[in-house]
Amino acid sequence: MTDRFVIQTDRLTRYFGRRAVVRELNFAVPRGSVVGLLGLNGAGKTTTIRMLLGFLSPTRGHCTVLGKDSAVLSPEDRSRIGHTVEGHFLYPWMRVRECERFGRETHPHWNGAFFEQAVRRFGIDTGAKVSWLSRGQRAGVSLASTLAGEPELLILDDPALGLDPVSRRALNETIIEFCDSGDRSVLLSSHLLDDIERVADRVAIMVDGRLLVDSKLDAFRNRMSGCLVRTDQDPTLSHPIPGMVHSRPVGDRWHLTFADADQETAAAVERIGALQVEPDEVTFEDAVLAYLSRSRMGHSFYSGAAS
């Protein structure tokens, strides 16, 4: 088990006061995979990551990272885990090349070539002081320092926050290259669906502290489907449709999004008695938004997490 998964949680739960922010999370990150962790603001992603890194205790349940209980990670364990946090902490008075030297002296493993390459990709002058750098450039130095430590597992919490498109591309390319150069795993929390689709091979979706989807990205995309129906009112109000995740009005029609649609789904759509029904494409973004929008509307959820 330990070898196959770099992260495992068992009924991981966290309350703040009386409020459950992470609920009964059973989640595993297979070694060598890049998992995109998605969820609306406040879904519990950062709280989960803080528990994984041992910065916050679970109220119930537990989690392991690289086979070790997160609550008791040793400095040696931590050196195998790279993580970046919002704000990209760096010493403002250091020059970029001093950041590199500082990293080299404080990390047991250090890949200077990786640092150089990442910094170059972000267009950063190594003679510049951190305080002179833009937000995107600071993110680049922070990421370069993290990756140069050659962690087995990288945990990134919203690393693209506030980055321009060029810096975002540099970030994505750096992550992809990092994964290509070894048996490395990444947990990437982000709101940028394009980036997740480009970089990740698995997707996990949290809604109100629960994990609703945990799947290979391709499988997730393939199991979702949709159709457009023309009716006078929301067709799902009177007719429960098996597998339906979400419905939304599109002009004078309704778009219905399904997970694992089957004959029962088709029969239920038929019973609506719509004037017109036609299949409609569901993109990765549509599929994710179907789950997320459903939560915002306060419906109960489709509970089948994909394998």
Residues found near ligand ATP in the complex (CB under 6 A):
16, 21, 39, 41-47
Min dist. Cβ of residue 105 to ligand ATP (A): 33
Looking at 78-123, which runs of residues are DSSP E strands? 81-84
Shortest spacing between CB 173 and ligand ATP, in angstroms: 24
Nearest approach in angstroms of CB 296 to ligand ATP is 14
Please say which residue, 80 or 202, places its beta carbon nearer to ligand ATP. 202
Cα distances (angstroms) measured from residue 260 to each of 205, 223, 242, 254, 285: 17, 5, 9, 19, 17
CB of 103 to ligand ATP, least distance (A): 27
Place of tokens 């803080």: 50
Cβ proximity to ligand ATP, 186 vs 272, nearer residue? 186
Tokens (6 digits) for 242: 């098996």
Letter string b/e over residues 133-168, b meaning 16 or more CB atoms within 10 A of that residue's CB: beebbbbbbbbbbbbbbbbbbbbbbbbbeebeeebb
Q: How many CB atoms lie within 10 A of CB 59?
A: 15
**Judged by CB, which is closer to ligand ATP: 37, or 130?**
37
44 versus 159: smaller Cβ distance to ligand ATP: 44
CB of 160 to ligand ATP, least distance (A): 12
Instruction: Between 163 and 229, name the residue whose CB sits nearer to ligand ATP.
Output: 163
Pairing label, strands 253-259, 34-38? unpaired
